[in-house]
Structure 1
Amino acid sequence: MEELTRAAWRVSSRSGGQGQCVEVALTSNVVGVRDTKNRNGGTLAVAPEIWTGFVTKIKHGELDH
């Protein structure tokens, strides 16, 4: 997605800097998620409302097993 190539990618401050995490880019139309170890290996692109729902479920522990 061309829109994500210009986006600012961010890594969580909790990642620890070991390179075993994902980074996220937010735009008005799409949220991109990719592996920091392989930034050219592909990007998962989802609608912002889907990403918000996913993060909300994580925060509420709804995806814990």
Structure 2
Amino acid sequence: MEELKITWRKASYSGNDGGHCVELADLGGTIGVRDSKNPGGGHINISRDGLDVLLARLKQR
């Protein structure tokens, strides 16, 4: 079985000023979400559909 290389990405318009940012990674069947200020603190997994719903709701705010 081929091992998945995980690449965490932060939004391109997130500055380096220590703001509140999250990072996302393609984990194969799910998307990983973690706190960019605490990358070793673990992550949550969310389905691609779940991420679409989350982002749509955040944009409504």
**TM-score bracket for the superposition, by shorter chain length:** 0.7 to 0.9
CA deviation vs aligned residue, 1:30-51 (integer Å, no higher than 9, x gap): 1111111111101011111101
Between the two proteins, the alignment pairs up a number of residues equal to 58
Unpaired stretches in structure 1, ≥5 consecutive residues:
none
Normalising by structure 1, what TM-score? Answer: 0.71
CA deviation vs aligned residue, 1:5-28 (integer Å, no higher than 9, x gap): x22211011211123311111244
RMSD (Å), alpha carbons: 1.9
Task: Point out 4+ residue stretches in structure 1 off by more than 2 angstroms.
Answer: none
Paired-residue identity, %: 34
Normalising by structure 2, what TM-score? Answer: 0.75
User: Which residue is 1:9 aligned to?
Assistant: 8
